[in-house]
Amino acid sequence: MTELAVSFKGREILVNYLAAASLLTFGFLIYSFHPYYIQFFSEQARELFLYCWGAYLVLLPFYYTTLPTGYPTKSRLFWLAAAGFLRRSLSAEEKVAVLAVVVKLFFLPLMIAWLFHHAKETLFHLDVLMANGNFFPNGFWLLFNIVFLVDVGCFTVGYAVEHPRLGNEIRSVEPTAVGWIVTLICYPPFNGATQQMLGWHSGDYPAFEHPLAQYLSAALILAALVIYAWASAALNLKASNLTHRGIVDGGPYAWVRHPAYIAKNFSWWIGSLPILYGYAQRDASDLIYGIIGVAGWSAIYYLRAMTEERHLGADPAYAAYCEKVRYKFIPGVW
């Protein structure tokens, strides 16, 4: 490599680094010092953000040395778009970059905090299970947290790492307000308003009076959540919300197009049964409100699936995938 080429590569790495470091620092400050997030995240989670922020700043230069010369990074395109926003129309690449940066800054801290939470809970319930030996509920909670550790782990890496050699570049981002709204209202801070409107009428470990019903419901919930985590593992480095990073047709995606959504909602409906039964014993209006609430959450996830299909449908590869996998949620049925 000539001296001129080395000099150009060095300047490019520096520009990319400054662009990314400024965005990371902005996100770090928001999630560490905004009053809502100070209350929402634990002190340990916010301390973890500090370590992750520092690690990113140290590792980014090495990451950028692995990119092809002239590769348009999302962070650099973001600042180019910001600089030209009032003077010209943004290019398609810049629009994708702006939305991709928003997606990453919104979701990555949530995933990091939840990854830490489920790791801590996994170790705690492992200790409890080894001490007490009772699978219900100790083993249930251990497996429950392992499932979400796998799920959140995949999404954490998916948001944190994007590289052409890994085949997980963000090609496009959900372009409609509806697609963004139905996704964001499922996550903090927006899910608080959703829960206030619909309520929450389900339990992760439903309390049935009969032991057999208790064990069966717990087993069904775990089975559903294993499928949920399997779907995340199948997405692998492409795991992220609101983005198109390539078509995945392996794992449960070989059977249905939205395995994670149907699995999660199935677990919610199982978890709602004793609560809805209690409502029915108390007042019919409570039962109706509870059913509407659970159905409302399911409707949100149905809209998420439909907006994703519309978004991904712009790619001929997804149309071919839909021809191959005809069912959205339930094999052979729907």
Average pLDDT score over residue span 284-311: 97
pLDDT band at 135 (very low <50, low <70, confident <90, very high): confident
With cut-offs at 50, 70 and 90, classify the pLDDT of residue 47: very high
Spatial separation of the C-alpha atoms in residues 54 and 288, rounded to whole Å: 50
As a whole number, mean pLDDT of residues 267-285 equals: 96
| Amino acid in the structure at residue 166 | L
In this prediction the pTM is: 0.94
Radius of gyration of the chain (CA): 22
Average pLDDT over residues 44-69: 95
pLDDT of residue 86: 82
Residue 2's pLDDT band (cuts 50, 70, 90)? low
Residue type, 249: D
Could you report the per-residue pLDDT of 165-188, keeping only the tens digit for each? 999 999 999 999 999 999 999 999
Kindly give the residue spans of alpha helices, DSSP state H, lying in the chain.
3-33, 35-40, 43-65, 74-84, 92-132, 140-160, 177-184, 191-198, 211-235, 259-282, 284-312, 316-324
pLDDT above 70 as % of the chain: 98
Q: How far is CA 67 from CA 73, 74, 224, in A?
A: 9, 12, 39
CB atoms within 10 A of CB 197: 10
Residue 314 CA to residue 174 CA, distance in Å, equals 11
For residue 127, which phi and psi values (nearest 5 degrees)?
-65, -45
One CATH from 1.20.120.1630, 1.10.3720.10, 3.40.50.1820, 1.10.10.10 for 161-334? 1.20.120.1630
**Whole-angstrom Cα distance, residue 72 to residue 77?**
7
Average pLDDT over residues 203-221: 93
Distances (CA, A) of 72 to 92, 96, 135, 137, 249: 12, 11, 51, 50, 28
User: Is residue 7 over pLDDT 80?
Assistant: no
Name the pLDDT band for 6 (thresholds 50, 70, 90). low
Distance CA 307, CA 328 (A): 13
* Residue predicted with more confidence, 88 or 297: 297
Cβ proximity of 320 and 313 under 8 Å: no
At 277, the pLDDT band (50, 70, 90 cuts) reads very high
Listed by start position, the domains of the chain span 1-115, 161-334
Q: Give residue 1's pLDDT band: very low, low, confident or very high (50, 70, 90).
A: low
- pLDDT given at position 82: 95
User: What's the confidence (pLDDT) of residue 5?
Assistant: 56
Which residue do the tokens 């990113």 mark? Answer: 56
Average pLDDT, the chain: 95
Q: What is the mean pLDDT of residues 310-318?
A: 97
Report how far residue 258's alpha carbon sits from residue 234's, in angstroms, rounded to the nearest whole number.
Answer: 12
In the predicted structure, residue 78 carries a pLDDT above the cut 90: yes
| Long-range CB pairs of 137-142, under 8 A, 24+ apart, other chains included | 137/205, 137/218, 140/205, 140/218, 140/222, 141/205
